[in-house]
Amino acid sequence: MKIVVLDAYSIVYNDLSFDFLKDYDASIYDFTSPEEVVSRIGDAEAVFTNKCEIDKNVIDSCPNLKFVGELATGYNNIDVQYCKEKNIIVSNIPSYASNNVSEMVFAFLLDVFYNLHDYDVAIKEGEWINSKIFTFFKHTTHNLAEKTIGIIGYGDIAKAVEKKAIVFDMNVLVHRRTQDTSDKKFVSLDYLLANSDIITVHTPLNQQTAKLINEESISKMKDGVVFVNTSRGGIVDEKALYNALESGKISHACLDVLTKEPMEKDNILLKAKNITMTPHIAWAAYETRKKLIDILEENLKAYVSGKPINVVNK
């Protein structure tokens, strides 16, 4: 079977490999531009993609395609409905990054609430040496305990965030797509926005969630809220976020994702104050990428056996 991997580097980096494909007719590319997608897939039966788009044009141009392996949980880069119409199976990688991403949420929060980076810089610049007491005060720090964290979405990552928040003795509010009255933690979006000290987003990007965080929703947030997004950049209106940071409505934002990635040089958030950004690495620890490859191998074996798993377009 002929298999093409379009953007392997984002998964294997320089410490992993797709060795499990050695028994297949596999072509592995580190990077593939949009213009190269069709020619590289060619007459392959299976393609693996992380960010390369598999849209109607690609599908129509590659008539032998029967299996698309998404190298992530989210699959907004694939026209899954059209794949279904063409009897192409699409499988994703579920539940592989819950620990990684939820840990990153709290890495962000601990830095914001305890000013870890600023204190480290100050010490290395000699400021502690000149302190008159053993404790060098430069910033007011705050506990996470008893703060209310509002979690938008309730998939595996959101549940992992909730579990860690409880360990930190935080109060938890959750807004999920489907109404749930089984627990008082499940609330409306408006209630969550108005009552959370911290808001963290964990939803897929789709028509319902695109620019969910916008001028209107931000206006409903508590003054001085801390905002975290480790899901998809398109969920946030970046200009509205910039304005909220400038006004102080949002006291600090922590972003691992942007609408356009890699970041463009004129992105307005480069000028924003009180923002911490990382380059879409919340999912990317070695152990997490290794787990992703293991699940991908199982997805491929299941497809070959005629019993596909983790199918998102049944």
Annotated catalytic sites, by residue? 232, 261, 280
Find out whether the peptide bond into 262 is cis, omega within 30 degrees of 0.
yes
* Rounded (to 5) percent helix, strand, coil in the chain: 35, 15, 45
Cα end-to-end span (Å), the chain: 23
H-only helix segments in the chain: 9-12, 37-41, 56-61, 80-85, 98-114, 116-124, 156-167, 189-195, 215-219, 238-247, 286-304
Q: Are 283 and 157 in contact (CB under 8 A)?
A: no
Cα distance between residue 226 and residue 255, in whole Å: 11
Cα distance between residue 269 and residue 243, in whole Å: 10
Distance set, CA 132 to CA 35, 115, 128, 261 (Å): 62, 20, 9, 46
Handedness of CA 36, 49, 105, 213 (dihedral sign): positive
Q: How far is CA 261 from the centre of its chain?
A: 12
